[in-house]
Chains A and B, each alone.
Chain A
């Protein structure tokens, strides 16, 4: 394939993925907006007013970056895992496998679709946040790069889950039992400085902590973690997971008999 043909193939997967989640926006875009709005109302307005300020910000303003990141993480992951497993289940992954698209483009196309959903939902949640908090952006570059990189990371992770999944149960186990706890314990609602020293150390093992804090720095200018360490960890995970996912596709794991 020429470079132009490869670009067309990549664009085709991206458009297909984009249309897939937009076509069912009531299931994909609307629920995270409603859920996040409820978080704003309950944790931000009702409980937050009892908590007071955190690191110099109103509690409502403090949790906004974490809630945006939570929506981005879960939706990037969910989009790819459900789409990839769905394409295996219905066997239309074969449309790509019989074509000359290289595996790295199949991987990139699915990941781009996941990033697209992560960003669309993230934008919708951000727009919702305007109604509840005095939004500000401390550093636009950091905010955007952290969101995009995190979205890429979890989209790749979703694809790996999709590769190994053999049933619909398998695509909900990781989000339910791994992703959600790690996200909630990743400092969305609190600063780890509030935790006892032991639990601060445990929290540092959670990669999501680095992403949420980096994004919080981009939005508010406060973070528990060094920004460069956060970038290093995020890019390190991306490279490692991308290599692993590509190896799986090259070997045909879960997609070729």
Chain B
């Protein structure tokens, strides 16, 4: 894990092993074998140093619902040995940055779902960890809050915090992460740079919106183009071809493209391919 990167483990299924892996790193789950090192600190032999490097935002709310918001954050700082006065300063900083300062005296149980997630981020950051782990931080969060959380995560990453996040939203992984690991059935089946992974994609399908309706798809050499309706085409573009070439071909027939989008998330397609491949491999090994 390189410092200052945002990485994302994704998985095919619930129960694939993401949260268990996080639980082991955060000392919430007893590991049965292997070793864990956080920035070189071994969890078995140097546990306090390893834990000090780590901030955790778990999947489920795990703060005291009957405490005021500010106390949730201040107490967490205290557990890391941060004096109370400094803890209040930091709580103010992070609660303001996450838009919760006005709610500081509200009992945590009275916050909305999105606010509770932001409270957990503030709590995880209060001791200024070098590594922040977020387990599905945007699950069940509305689009506006999700976007603002993404922006905030980018900001703290730029400020030097390494981030690992798990997500089922591959758009989120593609948008935020420079590195990605894919876990299937407790096994890492891919662990690489996002660009390297996306380069493995052989074909992408684009949806083209046309200015004028067409009756039929003209023969476009080198491309597989389907007509969805009078004003919409779908085109499969392999890595050997370019979009420019497609536009040139279409313009020969007087077809003007107004706008264009990916049919599905690129990463999603790759992800499904990798998981299917791994599943076939396992079946083969078992047979």
Contacts and interface: CB of A to CB of B under 8 A. Distances in A.
Interface in B234-252: none
Given A12-B78, A16-B71, A97 B48 contact: no
Interface residues of A, number: 31
Nearest to A14: B78
B28 A100 contact: no
B interface: dominant SS:
loop
Interface in A1-28: 1-2, 4-6, 8-9, 11-13, 15-16, 19-20, 23
A257 interface: yes
Given A87-B64, A90-B64, A99 B29 contact: no
Contact residue range for chain B?
20 to 34
A95 B75 contact: yes
A95 B28 contact: no
Given A100-B52, A252-B30, A95 B81 contact: no
Nearest to B80: A99
Contacts of B95: none
A11 B60 contact: no
B80 A9 contact: yes
Contact of B47 (A15, A100, A257): A100
A98 B81 contact: no
Given A94-B62, A100-B52, A256 B28 contact: yes
A252 B27 CA distance: 10
B79 A96 contact: yes
Interface of B: 23, 26-30, 47-49, 51-52, 54, 56, 58, 60-67, 71, 75-76, 78-84, 123, 127
Interface of A: 1-2, 4-6, 8-9, 11-13, 15-16, 19-20, 23, 87, 90-92, 94-102, 252, 256-257
